[in-house]
Amino acid sequence: MKLYTYYRSSAAYRVRIALNLKGIAYESVPVDLKPGAHRRPDYLAVNPQGLVPALVDGAQPLSQSLAIIEYLEETHPQPALLPRAPLERARVRSLALAIACDLHPINNLRVLNYLRAPLGIDEGAVNDWYRHWVAQVFQGLEAQAQRSSDGRHLAGGQVTLADVCLVPQLFNARRFNCDLAPYPMLTAVGAHLESLPAFARAAPGVQPDAP
């Protein structure tokens, strides 16, 4: 498999974690978001949305990190990232979607860049925007985790899709100096997960395109 990735992309980070957890070997193809390599014709031919990640397994590239991870789950079922019981499965998806659908899209590079120009919002206010939306979603996530977590995983006693989404979001929150003190369960879970080899090998700092 070939993964189009950028070291600091949290959506690509999710897929790297899932590939590692499932023991799937892959080739990394870096797409440098900084100079806009994701908007060039050669990458748009891979993913017309102009976003990373994209996974190639066979002829047609796949985009959208959660769709990619569900594809990996179906083609490589072990270890399972979604519990078998429907209610538990829905709970895991609910936690993952809070991050991937409610938080990540409004704090994305293109959104932050649009605030900077053309809207002309200064860097301090852009950072406030970022931290505001992290706090909004993390408050609810922390309360959910207080109910569902064993202190090492967001839901239940095993690594799930929710954990795969949490760790990259915690990385981003730290990068933007968000105050994580109000979220002791999220940070405890994150600390455990980051110590696992599959997560550690997916971390931005150890990617081939990391500076």
Ligand X SMILES: N[C@@H](CCC(=O)N[C@@H](CS)C(=O)NCC(=O)O)C(=O)O
4 φ/ψ angles, rounded to the nearest 5 degrees: -80, 120
Min separation Cβ 6 and ligand X, Å? 6
**Helix 10-21 vs helix 161-175: crossing angle, to nearest 10:** 140
Decide: helix, strand or coil at residue 56.
strand
Question: Residue 64 or residue 207: which is nearer to ligand X going by CB?
Answer: 64
Cβ(73)–Cβ(82) below 8 Å: yes
Residue with the closest Cβ to ligand X?
110
Q: Which residues bind ligand X (CB under 6 A)?
A: 9-11, 33, 38, 51-53, 64-66, 100, 108-110
Min separation Cβ 87 and ligand X, Å? 25
Min separation Cβ 11 and ligand X, Å? 4
Q: Which DSSP symbol is given to 203?
A: S
Q: How far apart are CA 168 and CA 203, in angstroms?
A: 8
The owner of tokens 């806009």 is 36
Min separation Cβ 53 and ligand X, Å? 6
**Helix 123-148 vs helix 184-194: crossing angle, to nearest 10:** 90
Question: Residue 100 or residue 159: which is nearer to ligand X going by CB?
Answer: 100
Question: Residue 33 or residue 185: which is nearer to ligand X going by CB?
Answer: 33
Question: Residue 56 or residue 188: which is nearer to ligand X going by CB?
Answer: 56
Min separation Cβ 28 and ligand X, Å? 15
* Chain centroid offset of residue 127 CA: 19
Question: Residue 66 or residue 154: which is nearer to ligand X going by CB?
Answer: 66
172 φ/ψ angles, rounded to the nearest 5 degrees: -65, -40
